[in-house]
Structure 1
């Protein structure tokens, strides 16, 4: 199961919109910064295909300026 964390930077003035959109996406936890236009996004998906689809969905949000992966972990299946 891929678990990844990202820093999501919103378009100017769109932080609240981006938070709202991210909260509506499954397999996504959202932690907004209190003092910056920055959102921490943690994803936890069942498999790589689901992870790829989720990342593409996030990257397709109009309110998103930049998505930077900070960390990733994948538990291999035996």
Structure 2
């Protein structure tokens, strides 16, 4: 979507309802929320005694870690492409 128009949708993450506003499609926002929900549940399975705040922070740390690793891979590939030119 990303045409500057704001889209509003309600999602469920770890049993809580959130209203999200963004420039992406509702489907995209639900997809992202689903990933967050899945990651929270995955971490909770391994650490069932975490309170919701610690679970949320650990989820954020895990997701950002994944993001940074992908960003590093992308930068490496871009450097390799430039070296071939």
TM-score of the two chains, using structure 1 as the length reference: 0.30
| Greater relative contact order structure (CA < 8 Å, 6+ sep) | 1
Higher radius of gyration, 1 or 2: 2
The structure richer in helix per residue is: 2
